[in-house]
Structure 1
Amino acid sequence: MSLIWCSISGHGYGHAAQVVPVLNTLARRAPHLKALLRTSLPSTFFEPRLKLTWELSPAQQDIGCIQNGPLTIDVPGTWEAHRALHTEWDQKIETEAALIREAHPAVVLSDISHLGIAAGAAAGIPTIGLSSLSWDLVLEPFVDPAIPEHAVILRQIRDAYGKADRFLRVTPGLAMTAFRAMDDIGPIAEPSTPERMTLRRSLGADDADRIILVGFGGIPLDTLPFERMARMPASRFIFDGPVPKGSSRVVPLSALGLPFKQVLASADLILTKPGYGTIVESVALGIPVVYVRRYNFADEQSLVDYLHHYGRGAELSRDDFYRGAWEPAVHLALAQQPAAPPPPLSGPQDAAQFLARYV
């Protein structure tokens, strides 16, 4: 049985959502493949999604960003967390490399942990990066020239990335320069089959009701303008988070007993931030998107551009989001038409074809 060691960022669910379709596709080429998931994400994310033998090895692989909710980056907290991770950096690489050597994987796949890449290279195992972004580009706008430690951490991240044997840049992706060899691959998503009538029956929705999914990814959103939402005409909401008791038009996702992906595929519109998995799946399914921008996250513009070219979308300002003034953006998104058909979701096949040579 071949083993693939997967170093997966725990910053939200987007990185794991890229890795899972690749592993599922690769397993069809290599039926005896096993995946070791080296990540801080819970097993509950992978259990309904992964279709090959796998084992979870809980461990922090990177920082990404420390966030105060899904829309705000805690910049000082982010640098402090990176400082802690990079303390005794060489020793941490060697400790991780020793675990990789002990496991004897055929290949190391990292999305997009610099620790995983540095350790895979140190272990002498073929090491492949996979992502639509890299953490050096995410951190670069926040570097304070008056704090030399920031530049040191950025250099260590880029040095680690430079040790990858190959980097597979997922469409839409950033113009990354830290990797010595790079191939572009198609978009990655694994959309569910829409079950719109099933979802409507679960909600008791009228034919005229719009079903709006409010989901901001793996970093929790703990507040919404529930009173204004309840007054929006012909609208029912599903929120991936807690809902006040007695709310008649807002239902928590957990109460439906349906996976997030199926609800996304079956909703009439999604309100979210521009995150890779949600945007690419929504475009593939033709689901309109109302998005709230952060304006300081590196891959946000590429995702917004992708949405407006291939999908249906409208921006909602942060102020309008928090005060519940959603109706104009919802109408605009529903009225949009794509400028061009979306590209095929070839990323899983592209990556699997490349990785198959190792497993």
Structure 2
Amino acid sequence: MPTLLQTQTAPMSESSGPSLVFAYYVTGHGFGHATRVVEVVRHMISSGHQVHVVSAAPEFVFTMEIHSPNLSIRKVLLDSGSVQADALTVDRRASLEKYCEIAVEPRDSILATEVEWLKSIKANLVVSDVVPIACRAAANAGIRSVCVTNFSWDFIYAEYVMAAGHHHRSIVWQIAEDYSHCEFLIRLPGYCPMPAFHDVIDIPLVVRPLHKSREEVRRELGVPE
């Protein structure tokens, strides 16, 4: 899959191969996941494919960078990330309780809805960064899935469980089990341990191209040469 694995160097040209349909699930926690997904999606679309982004992240994050009828945005909240009082303070117990409320309690309903939707768009592949239940939904729909990330929520939440209480352990186990259904992990630099994934492909950083020169940035910030 060159459009996934060569996001830094792939030429922005139309593909002569068949057009594929990708369902790309993106966690809505912060803007970091969404902004790196933009570059991958941009290359997918430039290669002639259709991409359906599923995320609670603001739509403008994607549409400001990508102007194409082959991009569809479906605003759905399927994971919750971390509950934070500020940029550095995480409420571990509230984070676990929020995930339980959003993705565990309505799990059966979510899976039924996602399976039906994936079949309706005739998705060829599900990509997740890094929504756990997306992998299980893909498996239930008979569609292959991959994850693209440098961390997974089972690893993050495992530390929260130690602080919030072991009665939340089932959340971590469920997330790891969901991830285990994906075909392989496309692992980005700066990664944490992710034992839920069986096969791993390492790639360089996924970044968007520069819009301003070094000189322009330094001038705007008032940083002398």
Could you say which TM-score interval applies, normalised by the shorter chain?
0.7 to 0.9
Over residues 209-236 of structure 1, what are the superposed CA-to-partner deviations in whole Å (9 max), with x where a residue is unaligned?
A: xx2xxxxxxxxxxxxxxxxxxxxxxxx6
1:49 aligns with 2:71: no
In structure 2, the residue matched to 1:251 is: none
CA shift at 1:198, angstroms?
A: 5.3
- Contact kept, 8 Å, 1:5 with 1:37, in 2: the verdict is yes
TM-score by length of 2: 0.82
TM-score by length of 1: 0.53
In structure 2, the residue matched to 1:39 is: 55
1:16 aligns with 2:26: no
In structure 1, the residue corresponding to 2:64 is in which secondary structure? Answer: coil
- Contact kept, 8 Å, 2:44 with 2:51, in 1: the verdict is no
Q: RMSD in angstroms over aligned alpha carbons?
A: 2.4
Counterpart mapping for 1:1-359 below 5 A: 1-28=19-46, 30-31=47-48, 33-50=49-66, 52=68, 53-85=70-102, 86-144=104-162, 147-195=165-213, 211=221, 268=223
- In percent, how many aligned pairs have the same letter? 24
Over residues 59-109 of structure 1, what are the superposed CA-to-partner deviations in whole Å (9 max), with x where a residue is unaligned?
A: 012111111122111212101101212114233222211111111111110
- Contact kept, 8 Å, 2:155 with 2:193, in 1: the verdict is no
One-letter amino acid of the counterpart of residue 177, structure 2: D
In structure 2, the residue matched to 1:325 is: none
Structure 2 unaligned runs (5+)? 1-18
Distance 1:130 1:116 in 2: 12
Structure number with greater Rg is 1
Residue 39 to residue 20, structure 1, CA distance change in 2 (3 Å) = same
Residue 200 to residue 186, structure 1, CA distance change in 2 (3 Å) = closer
- Contact kept, 8 Å, 2:123 with 2:143, in 1: the verdict is yes
Distance 1:148 1:174 in 2: 22
- Contact kept, 8 Å, 1:8 with 1:61, in 2: the verdict is no
One-letter amino acid of the counterpart of residue 68, structure 1: A
- Contact kept, 8 Å, 1:172 with 1:187, in 2: the verdict is no
Structure 1 unaligned runs (5+)? 204-210, 212-235, 237-267, 270-333, 335-359
In structure 1, the residue corresponding to 2:57 is in which secondary structure? Answer: coil
Distance 2:87 2:163 in 1: 27
One-letter amino acid of the counterpart of residue 71, structure 2: W
In structure 1, the residue corresponding to 2:208 is in which secondary structure? Answer: coil
One-letter amino acid of the counterpart of residue 66, structure 2: L
One-letter amino acid of the counterpart of residue 145, structure 2: T
